[in-house]
Structure 1
Amino acid sequence: MDGSFTLTLQIVITVVAGISAQVLGEFFKIPSIVFLLIFGIAIGRDGLELLHPELLGSGLEVLVALSVAIILFEGGLNLELNKIGQVSGSIRNLVTIGTLITFLGGGMAAHWFAEFPWQIAFLYASLVVVTGPTVVGPLLKQVTVDKRVATLLEGEGVLIDPVGAILAVVVLNTILNQSANSLEIVSGLLLRLSFGAILGGISGWLLGTFQKKANFLSDDLKNLVVLAGVWGTFGLSQMIISESGLMATVTAGIVLRAAGIPEERLLLRFKGQLTTLGVSVLFILLAADLSIASIFALGWGSVVTVLILMFAVRPLSILVCTWGNGMNWRQKFFLAWVAPRGIVSASVASLFAILLTQNGINGGSSIKGLVFLTIMMTVFLQGLTAGAIARLLKITLDQASGAMIVGCNPLGRLIASLIQAEGESVVLIDTDKEDCERAKQDNLSVYESSALDHELLEKAGIDSFGTFIALTTNADVNLMITQRALEEFSPPRLFAVFPNDEENKIKTNKQKINQAFISKLSVKDWNQYLKEGQFKLGKTIIKPQVELQTVHLNSLINSGELLPLLLKRKGKLQIVGAGEEWQPNDEIIYLLHDSRPQLLKQLSGNTVSSRFSLSQLPEVEEIPIATLMKVVN
């Protein structure tokens, strides 16, 4: 009873510490692995000694194997083949040529600087060829970089993990079996990869078919069927050919995602939660078992080894593997900077340390220490600075420009023309043939289709735009479109025109959808004003003494006579959001409603209603309406 309670307490401590670390990571917006490592070491053998992973015995190996299988499956499930297609050549190069460069460079650095024997040096190198998707994934959620860069990092992280794990096993087997020749080593690697990919592909297809046809099952039970299928695939693959299971799980995830199963979002959420739990438990347990003394015993040579791996080997790998792929130096610099190691390196290194010791080979604790040093240095130096580096390089999505506009009505075409006139890219989407034709006549890029079409949005380049806005005349459609865009693409800035009731307010705040322009906007009315010429287009700059000017500006907005459209702040153009707080030097482009009959305005020679006291809007710069009249004809 005492023994079982001790084990129970160990698991409870592990889970509580792991989830606490995840919560802190979310709160401080930094990779949770930082807190997982700190907490694990703090409560482990060199800390408070609350956690003793050795008490789990062989159960630790089982826990590691099953958790890594789920983690890699979830990584494959999150990969979208249509996105990978844009950078498939670079991902292929990173998984093949990049692995070779890291293997050779890391091995030589570990031998020459950390003074490891050649065989132990290359075993270390095989463990660190991988980049951790469990670190890269959360990092890219916090640092929203250019989509091509993000896709390449995610694809590399998921696909290189099984390759690296199998390579490490082959190298270990070579050390344990000195009689193995080069042909056996290479054939063993290719056999495991090929068999795992084939079995995983079959498993993924069967799971996808089952998910589509098993309508008699609840969604929750379907998710559990997938979990059983993943572990079944992993176990079968391992049973037939040892160490092929990881490749099988990754491939199963990729194929299942490509199958387009119903309620895909529920499965992704379920597997994401399992992965978070698995990563939390594993990192806490492995870090708790780490000897800090063994890391210090490695000396400064080990630090130099990791620095070479980070700042010489990785940049060389990126330079070679992305040659001629069209990426600029900023994107390549970020790729070279971000290569944190994660749970696969940690878990395999921990198991190898045990196996080497059991076989009477020295170096197990040294390898584990150097791998964890690599994890800590890459996570702390690269992971914690990734956001600042991305912003410095100007490749974050919140710095992306241009807009995708759903709605080719007069208001949508006017906004598109204004954005295009500022030198930024813009594309319109609508199902109305006549409105689309008018947009084409105005030299605007337009797609005549539904904005709910996933493939259409990809074709139109949603990933390259900084803003997505839905301003059709149907508020419900606007919300539905933006919610779908958020779920599938997560654009940096999302806007929609919708009623300002409490239900929508709660829903959109949770979904990160902003209300466009003003709280109560009738797109239909403003379209009519534009068609009948009952408007004036203007621009004003907010003076440093902002208070009086903004009071008058807001009174015109609240009266429904003025509609702010675009805002240029610190040289950056953006859509005006409802309730925008004006700042000094803001440049606002707006519409004024002029309700006088068109004939009266022509006879008077004045296009501005006398009801507007424009003198109170300093530095009003009229934009010649004639240059944009074609937009509203």
Structure 2
Amino acid sequence: MFENLLFQVPFLLFVGLLAQWIAWRFRLPGIVIMSMAGLLIGPFTGLVSPKETFGPIFHTLISLAVAVILFEGSLSLDFREIREFRKAIKRIATIGAGIAWIAGSMAAHYVAGLSWPVAFVIGGLFIVTGPTVILPLLRQAKLKERPAAILKWEGIVVDPFGALLALFAYQVVLNIYQLEGSTSILIFFVSALLAALLGGIVGFLMGQCLERGIIPEFLKSPLLLVTVLLVFAISDAIMHETGLLAVTVMGLVMANMHLTSHHELLHFKENISVILISSVFIMLTASLTTDTLAQILDWRMFLFGLTMMFIVRPLSIWGATINAGLSKKERLLIGWIAPRGIVALTVSGYFATALQEAGFPSAQLLTALTLALVFTTVVAHGFSISWLAKKLDLQASSGTGVVIVGASSFTTQLATSLQHNNVEVLLMDSSWQQLSMARQQGIKTEVGDILSEHTEFYVDLTPYNQLIAATTQDAYNVLVCAEFLPILGRFNIYQTALHSADPENYSRKYGGQRLVASNYDIQQLNERIEQGASLRQTKITDVYTIEQYKLQNPQAVMVYAIRPNGEIIFDMMNKYKQIQQEPHSVISLL
């Protein structure tokens, strides 16, 4: 059964996503758990062997998956995001990459024992980090905006350049030794330029087609996915490894066209990217042999990994970011975090074969060397990024705050009550006047539309993990809930009752969870405030139960509860049994 291709494909997908869920559930680094899962079902138990099962299309599938992942990452690279630290990113991607190439090549030669030609090639490849490893770490660590953005941009932008740099070094080696397969360096640069032009032109044309409605809504995401794969294949056919550059440029161009359908496309690509990252990591690690794993245990491999982490990486970052506007703490964190991932694994396999065929026997160590670096950096950085970010005060708030959309008498009292209970609150409204009462109460406010691009690029929503839509417009509340549902999750999105004729069905399909009792919409809640009601907090104990409280206060509208650990519980009508038998405080409109 395990050798059946029909079984292995869904099995690998399931194991990959299960590994991600385990990592989320127990707050462990996702890439570490995925690697361990791949080793467990592959070389350790022999349940699957994807390389043998997929045969000649194995590397093709991996390459196409990497292309989609890299495009999805570059689709989020808006230049407005880095307006304040563009200088640092430019230096890291140029000066830092150059230092890393030279220092990495020296480490590969003197520490790992590779010949100079092989070290020269692999040193260029090892400048990459990549979205497959960086993005899961950033989701896990919740860094502050600037270090997170720099690591994300570096991972996505440098990824194709690392592959191109290794290809350039490979062509230089072939030309120096006048070996078969060498091409003109000029041809290499022309091919890279053509790949960049192809990606840029196709990205612009695709963006125009999407924006002008030439492509119907139901075809936008599927057609874009197929186009990305085609651009990658065409560019890679011109010269190997230039496809990564083409899809990166394509995504970068589309990201900065500010398309109206950008969010829908990004959510679609993110869902696919999660599946691909999981399955690719599982496929690669499950395809390893015990001989390769034995090579990894060589002390030179381990020492090389330590050299790359503690000498090469810090040296490249500190050298590149002198007077670049970054603090010492930010440089220290960025100088430590550089996990290698899928691109390093896939591309090194190609060069290992090519260099051995060209007559460089030490290239046989490349696969083991790359795996050693990947495992060492993934484990070390995966387990240390959150701890180090917290020590350096570069971690965003723990994300226990509440965003309230719509300023009114009720939401102002709600924000004040939450703030009194040490919950971080942000109250947003498009009217400056509507927010005046909240500002007088010392509540953090923001004027603007939460659905606009202004919010995305200028308002930091990281500290908030719950959202309440409480404007007087039902349709707008539903739109807000639908927009943030993929980000915060259905059970962290709330809204006040709807005024529509069939609010129950409408809310269940498109909106968030009900904030209070279904017969109270925002207008009725405001009317209660105007009639003299206010939010009052009552302690519930084993002696004074919630049932007694309800009997004594039949007119009370329970809004939220606070557990002893400080956890906030909304939607009390549905979660009544959850808190009925434990001590807590209930906050009601009374």
Instruction: State the SS of the aligned residue for 1:259.
Output: coil
Please give the per-residue CA displacement for 1:212-255, whole angstroms capped at 9, x wherever unaligned.
Answer: 3454x554544343234323433443455654322111110122
Is the aligned partner of 1:551 residue 2:546?
yes
Structure 2 match to 1:75:
73
Aligned residue pair count: 574
Q: Whose radius of gyration is greater, 1 or 2? A: 1
Is the aligned partner of 1:435 residue 2:434?
yes
Residue identity in the other structure for 2:484:
A
CA change 1:286–1:455 in 2 (3 A) is same
Greater alpha carbon shift after TM alignment, 269-278 vs 203-212: 269-278
- Tell me if structure 2 keeps the 8 A contact 1:398–1:493: no
Unaligned segments of structure 1, at least 5 residues:
1-5, 594-633
Q: CA–CA distance in 1 between the matches of 2:248 and 2:553?
A: 55
Structure 1 match to 2:225:
227
Q: CA–CA distance in 1 between the matches of 2:490 and 2:313?
A: 30
Structure 1 match to 2:458:
459
Structure 1 match to 2:151:
153
Instruction: State the SS of the aligned residue for 1:357.
Output: helix
Unaligned segments of structure 2, at least 5 residues:
none
- Tell me if structure 1 keeps the 8 A contact 2:413–2:534: no
Please give the per-residue CA displacement for 1:335-369, whole angstroms capped at 9, x wherever unaligned.
Answer: 45543211100100111111012112112221111
Is the aligned partner of 1:198 residue 2:201?
no
- Tell me if structure 2 keeps the 8 A contact 1:295–1:369: yes
Residue identity in the other structure for 1:344:
V
CA change 1:378–1:433 in 2 (3 A) is closer
CA change 1:385–1:448 in 2 (3 A) is closer
Is the aligned partner of 1:168 residue 2:166?
yes
Structure 1 match to 2:18:
24
- Tell me if structure 2 keeps the 8 A contact 1:95–1:159: yes
CA change 1:271–1:441 in 2 (3 A) is closer
CA change 1:208–1:54 in 2 (3 A) is same
Residue identity in the other structure for 2:70:
L
Is the aligned partner of 1:375 residue 2:354?
no
- Tell me if structure 1 keeps the 8 A contact 2:73–2:131: yes
Question: Within 5 Å, which residues of 2 pair with 1:177-326?
Answer: 177-178=175-176, 194-213=193-212, 215=214, 218-238=216-236, 240=238, 243-261=241-259, 263-264=261-262, 267-268=265-266, 270-272=268-270, 274-275=272-273, 278-279=276-277, 282-284=280-282, 286-287=284-285, 289-297=287-295, 299-319=298-318
CA change 1:283–1:564 in 2 (3 A) is closer
Q: CA–CA distance in 1 between the matches of 2:567 and 2:327?
A: 23
Q: CA RMSD in A?
A: 4.5
- Tell me if structure 2 keeps the 8 A contact 1:192–1:244: yes
Structure 2 match to 1:616:
none
Please give the per-residue CA displacement for 1:162-185, whole angstroms capped at 9, x wherever unaligned.
Answer: 0111111112222222269xxx99
Instruction: State the SS of the aligned residue for 1:428.
Output: strand
Q: Percent identity?
A: 26
- Tell me if structure 2 keeps the 8 A contact 1:147–1:464: no
Instruction: State the SS of the aligned residue for 2:108.
Output: helix
Q: CA–CA distance in 2 between the matches of 1:458 and 1:576?
A: 29
Q: CA–CA distance in 2 between the matches of 1:566 and 1:246?
A: 51
Instruction: State the SS of the aligned residue for 1:129.
Output: coil
Residue identity in the other structure for 2:365:
S
- Tell me if structure 1 keeps the 8 A contact 2:164–2:241: yes
TM-score computed with the length of structure 1 as normaliser: 0.74
Structure 2 match to 1:607:
none
- Tell me if structure 2 keeps the 8 A contact 1:237–1:245: yes
- Tell me if structure 2 keeps the 8 A contact 1:419–1:425: yes
In the TM superposition, what is the alpha-carbon distance from 1:300 to its structure 2 partner?
1.0
Structure 2 match to 1:15:
9
Please give the per-residue CA displacement for 1:596-623, whole angstroms capped at 9, x wherever unaligned.
Answer: xxxxxxxxxxxxxxxxxxxxxxxxxxxx
CA change 1:262–1:435 in 2 (3 A) is closer
- Tell me if structure 2 keeps the 8 A contact 1:411–1:530: yes
CA change 1:353–1:540 in 2 (3 A) is same
Structure 2 match to 1:621:
none
Structure 1 match to 2:131:
133
Residue identity in the other structure for 2:345:
A
- Tell me if structure 2 keeps the 8 A contact 1:286–1:350: no
Structure 2 match to 1:530:
529
Instruction: State the SS of the aligned residue for 2:380.
Output: helix
In the TM superposition, what is the alpha-carbon distance from 1:159 to its structure 2 partner?
1.1
Q: CA–CA distance in 2 between the matches of 1:308 and 1:24?
A: 33
CA change 1:14–1:88 in 2 (3 A) is farther
Q: CA–CA distance in 2 between the matches of 1:406 and 1:274?
A: 30
Instruction: State the SS of the aligned residue for 2:468.
Output: strand
CA change 1:568–1:396 in 2 (3 A) is farther
Q: CA–CA distance in 2 between the matches of 1:456 and 1:48?
A: 50
CA change 1:274–1:48 in 2 (3 A) is same
- Tell me if structure 2 keeps the 8 A contact 1:208–1:259: yes
Q: CA–CA distance in 2 between the matches of 1:252 and 1:330?
A: 34
- Tell me if structure 1 keeps the 8 A contact 2:5–2:53: no
CA change 1:483–1:332 in 2 (3 A) is farther
Please give the per-residue CA displacement for 1:503-542, whole angstroms capped at 9, x wherever unaligned.
Answer: 578668xx9x56546676443344234335x245656667
Greater alpha carbon shift after TM alignment, 473-482 vs 495-504: 495-504
Q: CA–CA distance in 1 between the matches of 2:188 and 2:267?
A: 33
In the TM superposition, what is the alpha-carbon distance from 1:306 to its structure 2 partner?
0.6
- Tell me if structure 1 keeps the 8 A contact 2:16–2:279: no
Q: CA–CA distance in 1 between the matches of 2:204 and 2:227?
A: 11
Structure 1 match to 2:398:
399
Residue identity in the other structure for 1:94:
I
Q: CA–CA distance in 1 between the matches of 2:303 and 2:134?
A: 23
TM-score computed with the length of structure 2 as normaliser: 0.79
Q: CA–CA distance in 1 between the matches of 2:185 and 2:419?
A: 55
Q: CA–CA distance in 2 between the matches of 1:155 and 1:475?
A: 38
- Tell me if structure 1 keeps the 8 A contact 2:235–2:243: yes
Greater alpha carbon shift after TM alignment, 123-132 vs 326-335: 326-335
- Tell me if structure 1 keeps the 8 A contact 2:478–2:507: no
